[in-house]
Structure 1
Amino acid sequence: MSYKIVVDSCCDLPEEYRKDPRFQIVPLILQVGPYEIIDDETFDQKDFLAKVAASDDSARSACPSPELFMRAYETDADDVYVVTLSSKLSGSYNSALLGKSLYHEEHGPKNIHIVDSLSACCGEAQIALKAMELADTGMPFDEVVEKLEAYRDGMNTYFVLDSLETLRKNGRLTGMKAIVATTLNIKPVCCAVKGEVAQRSQGIGIRKALIKMTEIVAQEIIDPVEKTLMITHVNCYERAAVVKDIIMKKVPFKKAIIVDAAGVATTYAGDGGIVVTC
């Protein structure tokens, strides 16, 4: 059975898959002051970060329309697997669901399954790549769906950002019981809990927070030899490489991948942000 994997543009796929015909990326729209930027292959991170730094307004995003998702489902592939941003952080998941309804109304039955990643960026990529791995075995659609949902439920997402301001101003910190004092240079170590942002720990300064995050990853991982460590970075490859090396010395992951943040992750994680999934 042929298949297609549809993701929204918060999914930070490794570069070699971004033009792979098995994948299609449905873009979000990014907004910074008077600028509207499509989060597609034309996204210029350096220019975007400069616009954010020069703007008094917080950057934000708008989810894709249901029609964009519907058009992505219009494929000759028998099975379509869709991975979106956490429904607790974006309307992308609901838009993908509406797109599925529109598709069925216009075209009739088709195997389409939409996964709420309960994560973002490299977390979405982990699920999308797992969908590819499972589908490539030739297993039936329903079995892929079952295993994919179980994989999502066993995945952990952690992150450390230089600033939580963009998340806060856009109402994405509803799961946080408190925001630590930035005046003391205290950086929270955050995680995803049922798709919402929660604080897991903290460190004084970005370096100590990142080290604390690596310790948490090592403590909480289950069956690492069967898993991939994936790290999204926003304009800080060297920082991501250090985090990867520290974790890999602690934990025997099957492999580790560092990916550049696309537009949505750049918007919310901000310059210097690090996201880890496993």
Structure 2
Amino acid sequence: MYKIIIDSCGELSEEMKENGHFANVPLTLQVDDAEIVDDMTFDQADFLKKVAASEESPKSACPSPDAYMQAMDCDADHIYVITLSSQLSGSYNSACLAKDLFLEDHEDKKICVIDSKSASVGESLIGLYIASCEEAGMDFETVVENVGNYIENQHTFFVLETLETLRKAGRLSNLKAKLASTLNIKPIMGSTEEGSIQQLAQARGMNKALDRMVQSMMEVTKNCENRVLAISHCNCRERALQLKEKIEKVASFKDIFIVDTAGVSSMYANDGGIIMVV
């Protein structure tokens, strides 16, 4: 028996939700005085409305060790915990503490805490990969070794419709944000090997930005036919479908699936943002 626990920055597809091997542990979001739990009750439309109306940047708080321990308390012998990048959140450290505490009373369990070095559907893809390894009959140690190699070859990309969250967070000056908005400049962002965020390129207009993102992805992706690609979008499903069509014109992936961003990913991507991971 195995269990794959993913913090709520990682979206679960409908199939993953129906599969008893997956579980989410929620982070908490804060917009001004409103505290929002990133679980099944998350209302994306209401959250985006609150973010747009606030002069402050939204914030997130990682799950407590106790929340992780509750998720670990299950029948599974092999437990995998996947967190968003340790460069972006304390979720990984919280899960590591939970593992140490839990194993004090459950020495028979095998638990691995995994720093995704990504976010959003990057975490989801890692979970699906672990499930495929378990279903193939691999032992725990082999799965852990293989997932480390998988993460090293995973790439995360995203394009933002608006730079307001970055401006509010102080990561972009008011002047730069205004110029980018006036000139319709869309930055194409990606993850580094360490799991932090870097700008890869920029383009005038969303359509050109999506083209550039696909180009960046193809430059680092091999053996597409053996890989699954995932897209998450924040309130822009038509844009996600457009991106999927662009990808299918240049490569044939094993599968491409699309999900809505949950709370934490909605906070990062903001309204109209789109994330692609392979």
Partner of 1:55: 54
Contact 1:31 1:37 in 2 (8 A): yes
* Runs of 4+ off more than 6 Å: none
Amino acid at match of 2:138: M
Partner of 1:244: 244
Q: Which moved more, 1:238-247 or 1:105-114?
A: 105-114
Q: Give the SS at the match of 1:145.
A: helix
Amino acid at match of 1:104: L
Contact 1:180 1:186 in 2 (8 A): no
- Cα offsets for 1:46-89 (capped at 9, x unmatched): 11111112222211111000111111111111100111000000
How far apart are 1:22 and its partner, in Å? Answer: 0.8
When normalised by structure 1's length, the TM-score is 0.93
Q: Give the SS at the match of 1:88.
A: coil
Amino acid at match of 1:83: I
Q: Which moved more, 1:99-108 or 1:75-84?
A: 99-108
Alpha-carbon spacing, 1:251–1:132, altered in 2? closer, same or farther (3 Å): same
Contact 2:167 2:177 in 1 (8 A): no
- Tell me how far apart the structure 2 counterparts of residues 166 and 199 of structure 1 sit (CA, whole Å): 16
Contact 1:224 1:251 in 2 (8 A): yes
- Cα offsets for 1:2-26 (capped at 9, x unmatched): 1000010000121221243211110
- Cα offsets for 1:207-227 (capped at 9, x unmatched): 211111111122221111110
Amino acid at match of 2:226: E
- Tell me how far apart the structure 2 counterparts of residues 129 and 53 of structure 1 sit (CA, whole Å): 34
How far apart are 1:168 and its partner, in Å? Answer: 5.8
Contact 2:56 2:168 in 1 (8 A): no
Partner of 1:76: 75
- Tell me how far apart the structure 2 counterparts of residues 195 and 228 of structure 1 sit (CA, whole Å): 20
Contact 1:180 1:188 in 2 (8 A): no
Alignment of structure 1 residues 112-191 onto 2, 5 Å: 112-167=111-166, 169-170=168-169, 181-182=179-180, 183-191=182-190
- Tell me how far apart the structure 2 counterparts of residues 214 and 25 of structure 1 sit (CA, whole Å): 29
- Tell me how far apart the structure 2 counterparts of residues 151 and 13 of structure 1 sit (CA, whole Å): 19
Amino acid at match of 1:224: C
Query: CA RMSD for the aligned pairs?
Result: 1.8
Contact 1:188 1:199 in 2 (8 A): yes
Partner of 2:261: 261
Partner of 1:277: 277
Alpha-carbon spacing, 1:94–1:54, altered in 2? closer, same or farther (3 Å): same
Partner of 2:36: 37
Q: Which moved more, 1:159-168 or 1:229-238?
A: 159-168
Q: Give the SS at the match of 1:203.
A: strand
Q: Give the SS at the match of 2:187.
A: strand
- Tell me how far apart the structure 1 counterparts of residues 127 and 178 of structure 2 sit (CA, whole Å): 33
Contact 1:121 1:261 in 2 (8 A): yes
Q: Give the SS at the match of 1:275.
A: strand
> How many residues are matched?
273
Alpha-carbon spacing, 1:93–1:168, altered in 2? closer, same or farther (3 Å): farther
Are 2:93 and 1:99 aligned?
no
